[in-house]
Amino acid sequence: MLERTYIKELKNKIGEEVKIFGWVNVRRDHGKLIFVDLRDMSGTTQMVVLPNNVEAHIIADKIRPEWVLEVKGKVNQRPDKMVKKAEDNGEIEVEVLEIIVLNEAETPPFDILSKGDEVGEEHRLKYRYLDLRRPRMTNNIKVRGKVVKFLRDELEKLNFTEIETSILSKSSPEGARDFVVPSRIDRGKFYALPQAPQQYKQLLMIAGFEKYFQIARCFRDEDTRSDRQPEFTQLDLEMSFVKQEDIMKLNEGLLIKLIRKLFPNKTIQEVPFPIISYKEAMEKYGTDRPDLRKDKNDSNLLAFGWVVDFPFFEKDKQTGQWTFTHNPFSAPQDEWLDNLMNKTNIEKIIATQYDIVLNGFEIGGGSIRNHKPERLKRVLEIINYSEEQIEKSFGYFLEAFKYGTPPHGGIAWGLDRLIAILIGELSIREVIAFAKTGEGRDLMMVSPANLQDEQLKELGIILNKGEN
């Protein structure tokens, strides 16, 4: 009994009988000869059905694109003048001996062999399982997997521990609205989906792990944005007993190694990465995520850079009260610690915050954290948290800080954005398997969706009239 052969292995099976499975790319009827291009996860090959194989010829006459087949055949060398050197299997073809139709398929709503530019994005998202058959999309998702594996392997070599943190968490102020999940058991109370594993990773430093990372799912209920997703992925890491330059050096080395390993056609403009202050970036480029490329027409040029010395606080335009520029967990630079503790010159306090930019996009950001409870408490007071609010929202966190918290800091990369830039895609939706629209709608699953009345009753939720 023949075992399955993947299409990429056929070139090593010339003269042998094989069994292959896959989807029909194209069927071409040349009268007596019928040619079928079949694909599987590993590649595509041309098959030929000869007229003397009557049964297979009858079946081949009926099959159409995207039908799923099991094929028994013989791998033959193509004649010299029929060789297509530009194709992976251009030197061979499979002479079909037997065809079994495993499943028929309706005509797809769009051409899945094209790049997809001619298809509306909403249409593609509605039929995402078909859109992912597109060679460009298949490659994007596979490259994403390789990037994640590379990062895991490298961080393990550096003695980082991969730790999954909770998805059902508690609402906290981290810059955007939380997605909340009602509790059926504790009526009227809610979990929140994490905007980032910020507090968890700091608690892991308190727990003594020293080096943590996670490929983390994050959730933010933000207003409609053209290239944002309500759920996204970060490379999240945290380290103990480090300074800002230690974290920057480690991450810079990781990025350089990633590019040289997986994207050798790309050129990094400057190594080590340039470091500019927030003030310089705003004065020179008018943005804190400047595009540092010297030749913006070079699609393979990568201009990384660090932006540092961010102001810790800024005035909220609506309330006029102080708020944080990045997150409330950052530490001030040493020379500004007294100002933080005494709540003086608040507008001048500089945080130990560092962002990494690439070709005009922020692809990551982090900071050294406040590791003493009184310092974090002072930040919360400056952003107008009352004693009661501090205890309610952060009491457990401040309590943990009392039990020997090491100095620590970390960073998070926006993996979706980084991978999109490296692949050459304009939208992060092109590197996310099941993406949502800019409004956060899942057109394939048709969500968000109404709940049944019984579900709402179980959760103790009463909607305003007409909202369900």
Residues 165 and 260 in one domain: yes
Residues 96 and 206 in one domain: no
Q: Give the C-alpha distances (Å, rounded to integers) separating 136 from 110, 121, 328, 367.
A: 15, 15, 41, 36
The arithmetic mean of pLDDT across residues 256-267, rounded, is: 98
DSSP state of 119: S
Residues 154, 99 share a domain: no
Considering the domain architecture, whether residues 57 and 144 belong to the same structural domain is answered as no
Residue 342 belongs to some domain of the structure: yes
Tell me the DSSP string of 447-465. BS-PPPHHHHHHHT--PPT
What's at 352, amino acid-wise?
A: T
What is the rounded average pLDDT of the residues 278-304? 96
Per the domain annotation, does 119 fall within a domain? no
**Mean of pLDDT over the chain:** 95
Q: Considering only CA atoms, which of 254, 178, 261 is closest in space to residue 222?
A: 178
Q: Would you list the DSSP string of 227-250?
A: T--SEEEEEEEEEES--HHHHHHH
d(CA 323, CA 313): 6
Q: Are 357 and 304 in contact (CB under 8 A)?
A: yes
Q: Is 327 found in the same domain as 252?
A: yes
Is the residue at 391 inside a domain? yes
pTM for the model stands at 0.94
Shared-domain flag, residues 222 and 341: yes
Q: What is the mean pLDDT of residues 149-158?
A: 98
Tokens of 42: 């590993």
Q: Are residues 131 and 273 in the same domain?
A: yes
> What is the domain range of residue 260?
126-431
% of the chain surpassing 70 pLDDT:
99
- Residue 229: how many CB atoms within 10 A of its CB? 21
Reported as a single tens digit per residue, the pLDDT across 21-44 is 999 999 999 889 999 999 999 999
The answer as to whether 17 is a domain residue is: yes
Is 278 domain-assigned? yes
CA distance 109 to 130: 9
pLDDT tens digit string along 233-261? 999 999 999 999 999 999 999 999 999 99
Q: Residue with structure tokens 């098959």?
A: 47
Element (H, E) at 93: strand 92-103
333 and 394 both lie in a single domain:
yes
Structure confidence by residue, pLDDT tens digits, 178-230 = 999 999 999 999 999 999 999 999 999 999 999 999 999 999 998 767 778 99
The CATH number linked to 176 is: 3.30.930.10
The answer to whether 214 and 233 are in contact (CB under 8 A) is: no
Is the model's pLDDT at 466 over the cut of 80?
Answer: no
How far is it, in rounded angstroms, from Cα 410 to Cα 242? 9
Specify whether 90 is located in the same domain as 148. no
- pLDDT value at position 468? 67
Please say which residue of 70, 103, 136 terminates a domain.
103
Q: Can you spell out the DSSP letters for 37-77?
A: EEEETTEEEEEEE-TT-HHHHHHHTT--TT-EEEEEEEEEE
When divided into structural domains, the chain yields a total of: 2
Are 135 and 242 in a shared domain? yes
- The enclosing domain of 22 has a CATH number of 2.40.50.140
Which has the closest alpha carbon to 197: 327, 68, 81? 327
| pLDDT average, residue stretch 359-378 | 96
Report the C-alpha gap between 52 and 269 in whole angstroms. Answer: 61
